[in-house]
Amino acid sequence: MEDIDTKCTAIRAQITATESQLAALKEELEAAERLRGASAPTSSKHSERKWPLSAEEYQRYGRQMIVSQIGLPGQLKLRSASVLLVGAGGLGCPAALYLAGAGVGTVGMVDGDTVEASNLHRQVLHRTKNVGKYKVDSAIEYLEELNPHPKYCAHREHLSPQNAPGIFQNYDIILDCTDNPATRYLISDTAVLLGKPLVTASALRTDGQLMVLNNPPKPPGDLSGGPCYRCVFPKPPPADTVVSCADGGILGPVVGTMGVLQALETIKVLVKSVDQSSDDRPSLHIFSAYSNPPFRTIRLRGRRTNCAVCSSEPTITLSTLQSGSTDYVQFCGSARFPQVLSKDERVSVREFEPIYDSKKYSLIDVRDPVQFGICNLENSINIPITQILQDRTFDNKDPKETLRSLLPPELTSTDSTDPIYFVCRMGNDSQLAVQKLRQLGFDQDGRRFIGDIRGGLKAWKAEVDPEWPEY
C-alpha cells in the first residue's frame, strides 16, 4: 500500500511539473503570436498598430531589450513570469531590486522578520524609518517606487513544511535567500517536488557561493533533471560549525554581489529559448572578495540515484513534507550551545559587577582581536579562544606550556590564588576556555577559582552598562 501511495505522489509531482512546462510553452506561444500580430501589415494606413508593450515599458526596458540574449521575446517572458524570493535580507534585497527593475511580472517575498538597525548596512531595500516594520512590507514599499508595473506579493511568515508547497505552487522559479541549512533543505525539497527551478546563494564574512539547482526541473526519478541541494550536500554540516552573519560578520558588498548574481541567473533561466545555446551544466560558483581572481567555478555532478527527494524511489514526498514527518531541524541538528560548566563555575554579570570594581582578579576576553578592538572591559586581557583550545603548535610544544606562554606570569604563578574570569560575547566560548584551563590544572587542584561570566558581554549591556556598544 505504501508503494502505491509513493507512486501516486510521484505521478502527481510529474503532472505538476508537466503542467508548469505546458504553461511556460503557452506563454511563449502567446508572446510569439503577439509579435506576429504586431508585424503583420495593417489593412488601412489609419488603423492603430498594436504593440505588445506600453510606450512607457519600451522606454523603461529599452536598454535591456536591445541585448541580443533578451530582445522583445525575452522581455515578454519576464513580464509573464512569477518569481518567489525566500528571505528579504542581504541576498533577497539586491536580487528583488534587479528582478523588479528588469520587469518581472510578479515578485513574491517570504519573510517573517522585521527590520533591525543592524540590517541596514547590507539589506539595501530597507531604510532607517522602517526599523520595526515587516521586511517584506519594507522591501515592497521600495520596489513599488522603483517600478510600479510588477505585481508584488508579501508573505509575512516564516517558511515551514506545511506552508511551503502552497506558497511555491504559484511561482515559476524560486530564489533561496536564507541563511540556515534547515530552511535550505526545505526550499530545495519543495522546489523539486513542485517542479520549480531554484537559484540558491549564501554569503559570510568576505565569501559567497551560488548554484542553480533543479534546472531543468524534471520530476523525481528523471536523471536528466538538474541536481538538487541534497544531491550536492547529502549531509548537512555539523550544527556547531554553522556560523551566522551575527556571529561571523558580513561585508555588505559581498552579500550584495551574491544577490545580484542570483537575479542574473534567474533572468537567464526565465528568458532562455529552446534554440539559445548556453552551458547549463550545474556548477558551484565561489566568490572570495580577497582572492585573486575573486571568482572560481566547480562543476557539479548530476542527480544522485539515491537522493532522498529526486531519485526514482524518494523518501521525501509532498505528503511526508506536509504531514510534518520530515523534521528539518532534527536533520540539521540543534545549534544550541551545550552547558559545559556547573552552576558553581559561573557567575552572573550582577555578581561580577562588585568584583570588577575591586580589581582583585584576572579577566580574560576570548573574543577575536577584531571584536576586542571594538569594545572591551577595562583591564581585560585578550586571548582568543582559538589559541586557548589549540592542542599543539607547529613546534610540538606541550599544550600546557603553550597556554602558559600566552598567559601573563601572575596567572600561571603557583603562589597566586587570585580568581580568573573568562568572558566572551554570548557566554559560550568562555565556558570552553574555563574547561580547558581546568583540564590543564591551572586551578591548582581547586585552590584557585576559574570561572566565566554567564551571558557574556551581551548580558553585561542588558543588566549593568546600557551604554555598552552592541554590534
Annotated binding site for ATP: 90, 111, 118-122, 135, 179-180
Q: What is the number of other CB atoms lying within 10 angstroms of the CB of residue 439?
A: 11
Question: Is 245 a catalytic site residue?
Answer: yes
Q: What is the DSSP string of 262-317?
A: HHHHHHHHHH--TT-------EEEEEETTSSSSEEEEE-----TT-TTTSSS-S--
Angle at 46 between CA 40 and CA 50, to 5 degrees: 45
Binding-site annotation, residues for Zn(2+): 228, 231, 307, 310
- The closest of 122, 87, 127, 83 to 101, measured between CA atoms, is 83
Residue that has been written with the C-alpha cell 508547497 in this structure? 165
H or E element that contains 40: none
Whole-angstrom distance, CA of residue 19 vs CA of residue 185: 24
Q: At what angle do helices 2-39 and 71-80 cross, to 10 degrees?
A: 130
Q: At what angle do helices 181-194 and 2-39 cross, to 10 degrees?
A: 70
Pairing of strands 283-288, 207-213: antiparallel
Give the amino acid at 172.
D
Q: Which three cell numbers stand for residue 217?
A: 526541473
| Contact present, 397 and 427 (Cβ < 8 Å) | no
CA atoms within 13 A on the CB side of 259: 29
| Contact present, 293 and 280 (Cβ < 8 Å) | no
- The closest of 163, 167, 202, 165 to 181, measured between CA atoms, is 202
Whole-angstrom distance, CA of residue 230 vs CA of residue 188: 8
| Contact present, 192 and 228 (Cβ < 8 Å) | yes
Binding-site annotation, residues: 90, 111, 118-122, 135, 179-180, 228, 231, 307, 310
CA atoms within 13 A on the CB side of 15: 6
Annotated active-site residue in 93, 177, 332, 424: 424
Q: At what angle do helices 92-102 and 135-146 cross, to 10 degrees?
A: 30
Question: Is 375 a catalytic site residue?
Answer: no
Annotated active-site residue in 153, 245, 332, 375: 245
- The values of phi and psi at residue 409, to 5°, are -55, -40
- The closest of 58, 61, 68, 55 to 99, measured between CA atoms, is 61
Whole-angstrom distance, CA of residue 142 vs CA of residue 365: 42
- The values of phi and psi at residue 207, to 5°, are -125, 155
Residue that has been written with the C-alpha cell 528571505 in this structure? 87
Supply the residues annotated as catalytic.
245, 424
